[in-house]
């Protein structure tokens, strides 16, 4: 991931302003340590911090069209850039960068070309002929982006909040799947898939169609001119990504450059569930596996850095970002610059354990839609910024535009969790890759119960965080929480602790408004908390809070459950090798 910063129409073309823009751009240097660039046209500035993945030798930014009248600064990867180049035979490209197509597409199609891009991206394009500009962000918000406004009438764009928070009167998250046009002085949504309306789809489940769509999504992400690997937690999603990558790597350009042996990476506390499962998967698919250990104290010591880089006070995100942040540093130290990861599957397929309680297929589907729309504030934020903190890029094939279209068109009746039929969470995905002749994964991995990343790295990680927060946040402090933090008031000492750190780095009101809030159980939206009356008194984002669903549900809460009839406990059933008992 690169870092972009643009200041547009600031009515100041002085050297002092240029120096200030350079100073702010340097706050993003961790995202792109390979090169820095700044283009100034009058009172418009486009800055770039480059992480070179494609065409490291000549792809420095900003990028231009033939006569340099169109200027672009981009953070992203355009997977179909070669096809797009072929569709533009009358254009001369200055570099081999995948992002070089953007300026030329604008020349051909004006502002209506964004949907032609297959990839992840945030970009600012300046047309110097009339000083107009457009800004766009990818469909789901895999790349991070913020927009701000100055008192002088300027518009600011930055990959991270820290690039603009000190100089804008107001700023906010740039909405995913949207384009901002200076001519219209407003946003419009360029990404309009059928699922966005939350209408209930009716396409029958086709396992092979789903399998082929996901394989295609993984394969296109093997586009790289630098060393890469896969993040492997040993759960279903990352294991499928790793298995498909290992299966199709040979013969690719990446394999010719860097060898056909895939490297995999895992992080966890000593003896954690993820470490054991990841090692087994790595041995099965034949990767060169790298296992990183951290202690609870290592994680606690990194919390301030994590909050500064990830720019949130959301409890779930910080819990999961910390091990990913630590692992990314280790991965980068090995010379790797890009990793493929498994984010997005749980949102698309209803993989979180609270989906066991979905009352019907309509509510199941609507919740998946809500979860995908919010990804840019949670898992995409984590995956993007935890890795970018160390100049590492994360690619997420589950959030491929074409794959989402296929997966979200399936009748949600097939996605519903039905224990009596042997269908656990994400059954449609598991079934699609349950190949007896050429297995992708061992059966018990293919049917391993969902572990949230912050749980899977070791249960004592979350317990340690809570204990640490309890030492630093007193009961007296919690009494005044509503007065001190009226917006998204922290309700636990852990949340209060994170909020204090966040406010120290980002004290502006606009900053606190960029972080989502509301009730949640095991990562649910506030709406899904209504599915079970008991959840409203047990609001914890850990998967273990899904009482009666997770095999390691909190012991003290499990002990508190009363009046459960023995026949309501569903025994081990065929098709679930874990034999997880589910409370009805």
Position 570 confidence tier, pLDDT thresholds 50, 70, 90: very low
Does residue 582 have a pLDDT over 50? no
- For the segment 314-339, what is each residue's pLDDT rounded down to a tens digit? 999 999 999 999 999 999 999 999 99
Catalytic residue among 2, 10, 168, 173: 2
Laid out side by side, the sheet with 119-127 consists of 63-64, 70-78, 119-127, 132-137, 178-181, 186-189
Per residue in 397-428, pLDDT (tens digit) is 999 999 999 999 999 999 999 988 989 999 99
How far apart are the C-alpha atoms of 507 and 566, rounded to whole Å?
53
Location of structure tokens 């018990």: 444
> So what's the pLDDT on residue 146?
98
Q: For the chain, give the mean pLDDT.
A: 91
Q: At which residue do the structure tokens 């019907």 appear? A: 360
Alpha carbon 135 to chain centroid distance?
20
Q: How far apart are CA 135 and CA 184, in angstroms?
A: 12
Please, what's the b/e burial string for 300-315 (b: 16 or more CB within 10 A of its CB; e: otherwise)?
Answer: bebbeebbbbbbbbbb
Contact predicate 349/519, CB 8 Å: no
440 and 243 Cβ atoms separated by less than 8 Å: yes
In sequence order, the 6+-apart residues with CB closer than 8 A to the CB of 327 are 231, 265, 266, 267, 292
Model confidence over 463-490: pLDDT tens digits?
999 999 999 999 999 999 999 999 999 9
Q: Lowest-pLDDT range, 114-128, 239-253, 429-443, 518-532?
A: 518-532
pLDDT, residue 419, reads: 87
- Let me know: does 496 contact 473? Beta carbons within 8 Å: yes
Packed helices 493-505 and 296-310: angle between N→C axes, nearest 10 degrees: 50
The answer to whether residue 2 is catalytic is yes
What's residue 555's pLDDT? 45
* pLDDT > 70 fraction of the chain, expressed in percent and rounded: 91
Question: Percentage of the chain with pLDDT > 90?
Answer: 81
Average pLDDT of the segment spanning 64-89: 96
- Write the CB contacts of 14 (distance below 8 Å, at least 6 apart in sequence): none
pLDDT (tens digit, 9 = 90+) per residue, 209-233?
A: 999 999 999 999 999 999 999 999 9
pLDDT for 187 beyond 80: yes
Angle, CA 423 vertex, CA 419 and CA 428 arms, to 5°: 160
Strand blocks (E) in 418-501: none
First to last CA, the chain: 44
As a residue count, the chain comes to 584
> Residue range 52-72: average pLDDT?
90
pLDDT tens digits for 228-274?
999 999 999 999 999 999 999 998 988 988 888 999 999 999 988 88
Tally DSSP H helices, then E strands, for the chain: 22, 19
Q: How many other C-beta atoms lie within 10 A of the C-beta of residue 251?
A: 9
Tell me the three state secondary structure of residue 194.
helix
In 3D space, the residue among 128, 84, 129 whose CA is nearest the CA of residue 109 turns out to be 84
């Amino acid at each position: 991931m690169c870092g972009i910063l643009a200041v547009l129409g600031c009515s100041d073309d002085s050297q002092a302003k240029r120096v200030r823009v350079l100073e702010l751009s340097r706050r993003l240097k961790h995202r792109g340590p390979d090169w820095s660039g700044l283009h100034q046209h009058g009172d418009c500035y486009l800055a770039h911090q480059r992480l070179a993945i494609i065409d490291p030798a000549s792809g420095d930014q900003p990028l231009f069209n033939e006569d340099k009248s169109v200027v672009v600064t981009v953070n992203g990867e355009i997977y179909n850039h070669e096809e797009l180049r072929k569709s533009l035979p009358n254009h001369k490209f200055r570099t081999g960068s995948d992002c070089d197509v953007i300026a030329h597409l604008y020349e051909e199609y004006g502002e209506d070309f964004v949907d032609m891009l297959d990839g992840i991206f945030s970009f600012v394009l300046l047309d110097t002929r009339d000083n107009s500009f457009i800004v766009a962000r990818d469909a789901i918000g895999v790349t991070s982006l913020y927009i701000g406004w100055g008192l002088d009438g300027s518009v600011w764009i930055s990959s991270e909040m820290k690039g603009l928070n000190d100089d804008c009167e107001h700023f906010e998250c740039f909405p995913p799947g949207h384009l901002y046009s200076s001519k219209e002085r407003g946003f419009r949504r360029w990404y309009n898939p059928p699922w966005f309306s939350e209408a209930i789809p009716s396409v029958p489940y086709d396992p092979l169609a789903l399998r082929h769509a996901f394989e295609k999504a993984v394969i296109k992400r093997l586009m790289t001119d630098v060393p890469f690997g896969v993040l492997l937690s040993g759960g279903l999603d990352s294991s499928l990504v790793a298995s498909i990558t290992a299966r199709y790597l040979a013969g690719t350009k990446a394999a010719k450059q860097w060898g056909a042996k895939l490297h995999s990476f895992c992080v966890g506390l000593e003896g954690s569930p993820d470490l054991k499962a990841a090692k087994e998967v790595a041995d099965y698919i034949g990767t060169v596996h790298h296992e990183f250990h951290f202690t609870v104290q290592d994680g606690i010591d990194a919390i301030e850095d994590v909050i500064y880089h990830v720019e949130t006070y959301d409890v779930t995100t910080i819990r999961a970002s910390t091990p990913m942040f630590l692992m990314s540093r280790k991965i980068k130290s090995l010379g790797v610059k890009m990793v493929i990861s498994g984010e997005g599957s749980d949102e698309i397929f209803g993989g979180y354990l609270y989906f066991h309680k979905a009352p019907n297929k309509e509510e199941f589907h609507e919740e998946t839609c809500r979860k995908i729309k919010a990804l840019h504030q949670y898992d995409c934020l984590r995956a993007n910024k935890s890795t970018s903190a160390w100049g590492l890029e994360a690619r997420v094939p589950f959030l491929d535009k074409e794959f989402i279209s296929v997966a979200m068109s399936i009748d949600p009746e097939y996605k519903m969790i039905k224990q009596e039929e042997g269908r656990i969470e994400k059954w449609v995905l598991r079934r699609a890759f349950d190949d007896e002749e050429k297995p992708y994964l061992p059966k018990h991995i293919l049917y391993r119960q969902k572990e949230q990343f912050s749980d899977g790295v070791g249960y004592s990680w979350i317990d340690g965080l809570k204990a640490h927060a309890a030492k630093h946040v007193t009961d007296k402090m919690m009494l005044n929480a509503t007065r001190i933090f009226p917006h998204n008031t922290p309700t636990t000492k852990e949340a209060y602790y994170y909020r204090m750190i966040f406010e120290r780095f980002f004290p502006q009101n606009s900053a606190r408004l960029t972080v989502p809030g509301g009730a949640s159980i095991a990562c649910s939206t506030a709406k899904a908390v209504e599915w079970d009356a008991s959840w409203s008194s047990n609001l914890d984002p850990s998967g273990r809070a899904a009482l009666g669903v997770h095999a390691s549900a909190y012991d003290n809460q499990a002990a508190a459950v009363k009046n459960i009839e023995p026949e309501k406990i569903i025994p081990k059933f065929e098709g679930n090798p874990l034999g997880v008992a589910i409370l009805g």
